[in-house]
C-alpha cells in the first residue's frame, strides 16, 4: 500500500509555510528599498553599491575563481583555529570541572585571560609568532577556547551527582564515568558553548585577516578597499556572515539530534 501524498493544503501546514514566507518579507523589502535608493541616486555608489552591482561582483569573483579561493583559505584558518581552541577549552574544562585541585589551578588564569581584550593581543601575537598563519590561527583558537571552557565547565558542575553514584555502582572507571555520565550530562551546555565559540571564531578571523594577510576573505576586502570597491567589500562581508550562519545551522541540527530525548518548553 503506497504512502498517502502530502497535503500541502492541510491546515497544520499553512502556518508553517506562512511563517517561512513572513521571515523573508522584511529582507526582500529592505533589498527593494536599497535598490531603489541606489537607482534614484539617493544612495551614492561610492558609499554603498546597489544589490544588483553586488550580485554582479559576486558572480564575477566566482567566475574568476577569486572568491572560492579566498573562502577556502579562510575556512582552513577557522577550522584549524577551532580545532585547537576546542581541544584546549574542553580539555581544560574537564580538568577543572572534575576536581577541586584542577579548578584552583586552571580557573583563575582562565578567568583572567578571558577578561583581556581579544583583539588587543594582536600586536603581541605578531611579536611572538610573526606575520604568517600562526597568529591568525592563534587568535581564532583563543576566541573559541573561552566560551567552550566556560559552558563545558558549567555543564560538568551541573551534572546530577546521583548519576555519578549510579556510574560508581556499575563500577565504571574514570574514563567510563567521563564518557557515559559526565560528557552526556554536560552536552547541552557544551553545545551552547559551541555555538558561541563559532560566532566568536568568525569574528576573530575577520579581524585577523585584516592584518598582514596575503590571501583569504580579509585580504580580498582590504584589496577592494584600496580601489574603493564597495561592492567587493560587501560581498566579502556577506560571505563571512553566510559562513557563520551555516556553521551555526550545522550545530543546531547536531543539537536537535543529540538532544532529541530532552523535552523543552516548546516541545
Are 234 and 221 in contact, with CB atoms under 8 Å apart?
no
Span 190-248, pLDDT tens digits: 888 888 898 888 888 888 887 777 888 888 988 888 888 888 899 998 898 888 888 88
At residue 265, the pLDDT reads: 40
d(CA 197, CA 151): 10
Helix (H) or strand (E) holding 172: none
191: nearest Cα among 163, 158, 155: 155
CATH for 51-258 (3.50.50.60, 1.10.3720.10, 3.20.20.100, 1.10.10.10) = 1.10.3720.10
Domain ranges of the chain: 51-258
At residue 11, the pLDDT reads: 52
DSSP state of 118: G
Are 181 and 161 in contact, with CB atoms under 8 Å apart?
no
Question: How many alpha carbons lie under 13 Å from residue 186 in its C-beta half-sphere?
Answer: 27
At residue 28, the pLDDT reads: 80
Interval 50-58 mean pLDDT: 87
d(CA 141, CA 204): 9
Are 186 and 175 in contact, with CB atoms under 8 Å apart?
no
Residue 9 has pLDDT above 60, yes or no: no
Amino acid at each position: 500500500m503506497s504512502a498517502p501524498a502530502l497535503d500541502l493544503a492541510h491546515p497544520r501546514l499553512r502556518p508553517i509555510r506562512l511563517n517561512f514566507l513572513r521571515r523573508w518579507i522584511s529582507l526582500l523589502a529592505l533589498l527593494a528599498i536599497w535598490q531603489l535608493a541606489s537607482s534614484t541616486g539617493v544612495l551614492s555608489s561610492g558609499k554603498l553599491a546597489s544589490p544588483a552591482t553586488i550580485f554582479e561582483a559576486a558572480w564575477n569573483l566566482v567566475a574568476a575563481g577569486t572568491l572560492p579561493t579566498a573562502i577556502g583559505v579562510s575556512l582552513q584558518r577557522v577550522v584549524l583555529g577551532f580545532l585547537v581552541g576546542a581541544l584546549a577549552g574542553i580539555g581544560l574544562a574537564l580538568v577543572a570541572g572534575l576536581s577541586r585541585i584542577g579548578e584552583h589551578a586552571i580557573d583563575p588564569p582562565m578567568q583572567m585571560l578571558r577578561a583581556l581584550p581579544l583583539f588587543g593581543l594582536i600586536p603581541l601575537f605578531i611579536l611572538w609568532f610573526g606575520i604568517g598563519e600562526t597568529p591568525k590561527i592563534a587568535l581564532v583558537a583563543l576566541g573559541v577556547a573561552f566560551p567552550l571552557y566556560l559552558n563545558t565547565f558549567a555543564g560538568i558542575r551541573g551534572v546530577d551527582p546521583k548519576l555519578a553514584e549510579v556510574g560508581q555502582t556499575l563500577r565504571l572507571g574514570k574514563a567510563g564515568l567521563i564518557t557515559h555520565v559526565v560528557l552526556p550530562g554536560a552536552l547541552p551546555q557544551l553545545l551552547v558553548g559551541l555555538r558561541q565559540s563559532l560566532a566568536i571564531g568568525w569574528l576573530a578571523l575577520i579581524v585577523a585577516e585584516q592584518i598582514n594577510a596575503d590571501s583569504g576573505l580579509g585580504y580580498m576586502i582590504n584589496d577592494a578597499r584600496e580601489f574603493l570597491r564597495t561592492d567587493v567589500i560587501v560581498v566579502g562581508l556577506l560571505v563571512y556572515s553566510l559562513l557563520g550562519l551555516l556553521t551555526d545551522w550545522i550545530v543546531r541540527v547536531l543539537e536537535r539530534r543529540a538532544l532529541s530525548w530532552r523535552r523543552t518548553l516548546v516541545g
